[in-house]
Amino acid sequence: MPIRRLSALTVNRIAAGEVIERPAAAVKELVENALDAGARRIEVILEDGGITRIEVIDDGCGIPADELALAVERHATSKLADEALVRIATLGFRGEALPSIGAAAKLTLISRPHAQNGQDGAYQIKVCGGAVGEVAPCAGAAGTRAIVQDLFYATPARKKFLRSPGAEADAAEKSVWRLALAAPGTAFRLVSHSRVVFDLPAQDFAARVAALLGRETAAGLLPVAASRDGVALTGFVGAASCSRATAALQSFVVNGRPVVDPLLKMALRVAYRDVIPAGRHPVAALCLTLPAEALDVNVHPAKTELRFADANFVRGLVISAITRVLARPAGLDSAPDAAAAPMLAAPMPAAPMPASASWQRPGLNLRAPTAAARGFSEAELGLLAPPAARVFEPAAADNHPLGAPVAQILDTYVLAAAADGSLVIVDQHAAHERLTEERLRAEFVAGAVVAQPLLVPVVVDFAPSDAARLLGQASALARLGLEIEAFGPGAILVRAVPAALREADAAGILRDLAEEFAESGEAEALEARLDAALARLACHRSVRAGRRLAVAEMAALLRAMEATPRAATCSHGRPTFLKLSRAELERLFGR
């Protein structure tokens, strides 16, 4: 075949595949245009996650009638004064979004510049599958309204790769969420599937973060502020005790642009390395500002990746700023809930925790436990008894593979001696997590999860999309003993928790489940999701490392492990115990 030039239409369709790979990307481009136009207020309306309709309305500068045709033309932009591609201060600059959307969908652009620009009334232009229509007068308010219908109808190959409307809606809502976080000075209203997801006034960054992350999450945030050589880092990071199951609540804004940047993600991870357990993720809403010439945003068509001129400098600044915030002595930070610190080896009080500690925290009114139906709970293990002397009782080791407890080390590991002479070391948290999970699973499989109604139901605040996702699973969760219902926008009322988890933090459980569901997506079968949910639940109700155990408690733990399937690993796959046989010990000592 001879070489020939592709038609403009084909070029646009190819570009559409790159710039607009799913509805979320179209939404992002249109909202970026509105922000670039200086909008004070932006409204986004989505139907079917944007697949059937996206509408973005702004009150920005508008597009003059004689420029409408140019706006939808490829590589036409009002945003690059010179063509050096340095010092890019706008979100857009490639002039690709509108022609790409017009090539893949039915685009209507209605715009009316503000009156002082000498134009009366609004004008519109339509682009359908790449065919550009005439500019014509129409009704419209000052600003711009972009309407996208039937996205990808002209590019069926792309349409095939769309996920369900629910999954696309999640992604599209998240795009608007990220831009709203990055532009707190602009009022944002998002309506998806006729539901108001958020409706936020112009506000400062702290208020926007609180509104978008939910009050409860925001209460666990610590302010960050650092600057060096013209580079400034501001915003918030979560206290170590408020880590999450996924990285979904990490957002970075660089020079006003929401980005997904591996360098910044990694810097965050390094800063938290020593304070949260592996597999947990900090919350962060961070803004980095640096001179525009120190940054290349033209790395990827979607403009969410960056290149820093001095990557090491930026990494160092971020790590040191966050490490400093996290190093503040406990009590000086605003962590609401130090008691819930997951598995942190923070020294516990020498005396055992008062029995009521876990339900006396503000906002939590779980009913005091009764002795019945506890399974492997703390009371059965005798955890509330005072610590006793650690004396080896050889008789107790009879016939038990995991032996008899000898001592507890670092308030974390149980040391036991088996009758065959081997030494057993048990990770008490990991072991208890598995026991709880297996008990819940057995109850669940038998259809007999015992739900414990709360004396005073607990209300938990969420970002609206998380609340909706949880409520969508309400009947499945009820089978797990977790009874929830809607309680106004973004709030969920917890009526009952699984009896095995009654002392756990209901808010923490729900937050983790929301993240689990957001992460697992719809493709996963309900059973698989419930299985993951069970593991998460178990994690919330386990003997923390750092809790001192009495001999009787240690023995009960060992016996329960012997009686429980899969007890050799915790639900994260880590071993719950190590066993050194007499022969191995002798070899180690060179005997």
Q: Which residue has the tokens 């689990």?
A: 516
User: CA 174 to CA 23: how far, in whole Å?
Assistant: 11
**With contact defined as beta carbons under 8 Å apart, do 582 and 397 qualify?**
no
CB closest to Mg ion, residue no: 92
**Is 94 a residue that touches ligand ADP (CB under 6 A)?**
yes
Determine, following the binding rule CB under 6 A, whether residue 267 of this chain makes contact with ligand ADP. Answer: no
Of 94 and 178, nearer to ligand ADP (C-beta) is 94
The binder of Mg ion chosen from 23, 50, 62, 92 (CB under 5 A): 92
Among 37, 46, 54, 97, binds Mg ion (CB under 5 A): 97
Smallest CA-to-CA distance from 277 within 187, 372, 341 is with 341
Q: Does 95 bind ligand ADP (CB under 6 A)?
A: yes
Among 45, 93, 459, 552, binds ligand ADP (CB under 6 A): 93
For ligand ADP, give the closer residue by CB, 92 or 369.
92
Taking the complex as a whole, the smallest distance from the CB of residue 72 to ligand ADP amounts, in Å, to 7
Closer CB to ligand ADP, residue 49 or residue 99? 99
CB 58 within 8 A of CB 41: yes
**CB of residue 67 vs ligand ADP: minimum separation in angstroms?**
7
For residues 23 to 62, the per-residue mask of contacts with ligand ADP, x marking binding by CB under 6 A and - elsewhere, is ------x---xx--x--------------------x-xxx
Query: Total residues contacting ligand ADP (rule CB under 6 A)?
Result: 21
Element at 354 (helix H, strand E): none
Which of the listed partners (Mg ion, ligand ADP, none) does 95 bind, with a CB threshold of 5 to 8 Å by partner kind?
A: ligand ADP
SS3 518: helix
Residues 367, 494: contact at Cβ < 8 Å? Answer: no
CA torsion through residues 13, 34, 286, 536, sign = negative
Query: Counting contacts by CB under 6 A, is residue 549 touching ligand ADP?
Result: no
End-to-end CA distance of the chain: 79
Residue 71 within binding range of ligand ADP, rule CB under 6 A = yes
By a kind-dependent CB cut-off of 5 to 8 A, residue 71 interacts, out of ligand ADP, Mg ion, none, with ligand ADP
Pairing verdict, β 295-296 and 257-259 = unpaired
Give the count of alpha carbons within 13 A of 252, CB side only.
22
Stretch that binds Mg ion, among 27-35, 116-124, 336-344, 520-528 (CB under 5 A): 27-35
- 78 close to 105: Cβ distance less than 8 angstroms: no
Bridge partners, 484 (sequence order): 494
Give the burial class of 7: count Cβ atoms within 10 A of its Cβ; 0-12 exposed, 13-18 middle, 19 or more buried. exposed
- Residue 413 binding: pick among ligand ADP, Mg ion, none (C-beta 5-8 Å cut-off by kind): none
Question: Using CB under 6 A, which residues numbered 136 to 175 contact ligand ADP?
Answer: 144
Number of Cβ within 10 Å of residue 400's Cβ equals: 17
Among Mg ion, ligand ADP, none, residue 94 binds (CB under 5-8 Å by kind): ligand ADP
For position 108 contacting ligand ADP by CB under 6 A, the verdict is: no
Beta bridge partners of 226: 233
Shortest distance, position 93 Cβ to ligand ADP, whole Å: 5
Cα separation, 494 vs 491, in Å, equals: 10
Residues that bind Mg ion (CB under 5 A): 33, 92, 97
Residues that bind ligand ADP (CB under 6 A): 29, 33-34, 37, 58, 60-63, 71, 77-79, 92-98, 144
